[in-house]
Amino acid sequence: MIVYTKLWDTMKAKGVSQYDLTTKHNISKSTIDRLRNNKPISIVTADILCNILDCDVSDIMEHIKQD
């Protein structure tokens, strides 16, 4: 399972809010909702987030093994 817990920590550290993502960077509210609920997002969206936050993909998501 992919979780986006690290995204929120990275956003806080970089001073980027969810409001900034939607208004300044045109990330849709439905994408924000998918991230909040650990739903799948596209690799393109992950790339955009990494560019916005100037970070690596491991700074916004992590894989948690499920049994």
Q: 35-47 burial, b for 16+ CB within 10 Å, e for fewer? A: beeeeebeeeebe
Tokens 């970070």 found at: 55
- Entry field: residues in the chain: 67
pLDDT tier at 3 (50, 70, 90 boundaries)? very high
pLDDT of residue 66: 87
The domains found in the chain, sorted by start residue, are 2-56 (1.10.260)
pLDDT of residue 38: 96
pLDDT tier at 67 (50, 70, 90 boundaries)? confident
For residue range 20-66, list pLDDT tens digits in order.
999 999 999 999 999 999 999 999 999 999 999 999 999 999 999 98
